[in-house]
Amino acid sequence: MFAQTLLEELEADCDMKETESIHIPVMSQAVLEYLNPKDRDIVVDGTLGLGGHAKEFLKRIGPAGRLIGLDRDSTSLALAKQNLDEFLHQCHFVHENFKNIDRVLKDLNIKEVDCILFDLGISSFQLDNPQRGFSLQQDGPLDMRMSQENQISAFDLVNSLSEKEIDAIIHDFGEDRWHYRIAHQIVRERMAGPIQTTQDLTRIVLRAVPSYERHQRIHPATRTFQAFRIAVNRELESLQIALENCFDCLKVGGRLGVISFHSLEDRIVKQKFRSLANDKKAILLTKKPLRPTEEEAGTNPRSRSARFRALERI
């Protein structure tokens, strides 16, 4: 069941204890097979992270190929440059949200590209840093911003929105059955003082849900954390805009792939891909989303909830 959430998989990242300079790209073989980057191609990694997928692309496109890597996290971008230092002469690193891919390519005077990849997961180093506030397993400030330039953090939403607005976030973005109870408990407890940390929010969720929910395999606060992270970063809105803007950047025969980690993302990708196919603008290369192999899921727990879809422009 695809109700398993991104944050659950990212909690698994913590168990793997990856360092900031090491990143295991999810479903790398499937990405290479279906996007099929070739010698001299121009490839866009719209969610560069630490450069795991980008490095595999660069090996395929050769020294005459070009890679454009976007990321809205400046720290990720800096680490990716280090990890891709042998390829710097053929890379463009851009500190930008992937929703603005068309503008980035225009600024680089690139009219069309051969491959585009969006990997919607969060890098392990982001989760492992308590100061970023993504993980419910580590205590840190309620931040959750993918870009530190953003003005609004999870702290702002948790402590300033109305109960109705918080309820809507947890319901719409977390799909949590106890959304109303959690929202009520948040508003009730912040009356005594601001909710400051990830552990504060975790404890509040545990108090809000029924006792039998506190011992499930998935932590009861997982969906609430997912919901606020999506809201803070406007992730679903960015994805919808990115899918709209990127298609016209593809050459005829160019390919687009998206790796998603929860049902809200996958639903948006599925609907957009089907629309393009129905309009005879694209061919679906994956009729259904591809899943990681059992071997990959075993060696890289982060991949377990990944879904990969790809299409080709016609």
Asked if 143 and 115 sit in the same domain, the reply is: no
The answer to whether 214 and 233 have CB atoms below 8 angstroms apart is: no
Does 130 fall in a domain? no
The number of beta carbons lying within 10 Å of the beta carbon of residue 304 is: 17
Asked if 150 and 218 sit in the same domain, the reply is: yes
Asked if 27 and 119 sit in the same domain, the reply is: yes
Does 28 fall in a domain? yes
Asked if 141 and 226 sit in the same domain, the reply is: yes
Among residues 171, 201, 233, which one ends one of the domains?
Answer: 233
Q: What is the pLDDT of residue 129?
A: 82
Residues of the chain with pLDDT under 50: 1-21
CA distances from 2 to 19, 34, 68, 79, 307 (A): 28, 22, 31, 31, 9
Asked if 224 and 250 sit in the same domain, the reply is: no
Residue 255: phi, psi to the nearest 5? -125, 145
Read off the pLDDT of residues 38-56 as tens digits, 9 standing for 90 and up. Answer: 999 999 999 999 999 999 9
Asked if 255 and 107 sit in the same domain, the reply is: yes
Asked if 38 and 92 sit in the same domain, the reply is: yes
Does 224 fall in a domain? yes
97: its two tokens? 């949200």
Does 297 fall in a domain? yes
CA distances from 238 to 46, 120, 235, 245 (A): 12, 11, 5, 10
CA distances from 59 to 37, 114, 177, 181, 241 (A): 9, 15, 46, 51, 30
Among residues 203, 233, 263, which one ends one of the domains?
Answer: 233
Q: What is the pLDDT of residue 159?
A: 98
Among residues 183, 206, 233, which one ends one of the domains?
Answer: 233
Asked if 27 and 78 sit in the same domain, the reply is: yes
The number of beta carbons lying within 10 Å of the beta carbon of residue 238 is: 19
SS3 state at 301: helix
Residue 285: phi, psi to the nearest 5? -85, -20
Q: What is the pLDDT of residue 3?
A: 41
Asked if 224 and 253 sit in the same domain, the reply is: no
Scanning the structure block, which residue is given the tokens 């606020």?
228
Asked if 308 and 279 sit in the same domain, the reply is: yes
Q: How many CA atoms lie within 13 A of 85 on its CB side?
A: 5
Q: Which range of residues forms the domain containing residue 222? A: 136-233
What CATH number did the domain enclosing 252 receive?
3.40.50.150
Does 65 fall in a domain? yes
Asked if 64 and 185 sit in the same domain, the reply is: no
Does 48 fall in a domain? yes
H or E stretch at 307: strand 307-313
Does 131 fall in a domain? no
Mean of per-residue pLDDT scores for the chain: 90
Does 156 fall in a domain? yes
What CATH number did the domain enclosing 181 receive?
1.10.150.170
pTM as predicted = 0.88
Asked if 226 and 141 sit in the same domain, the reply is: yes
Report the domain count for the chain.
Answer: 2
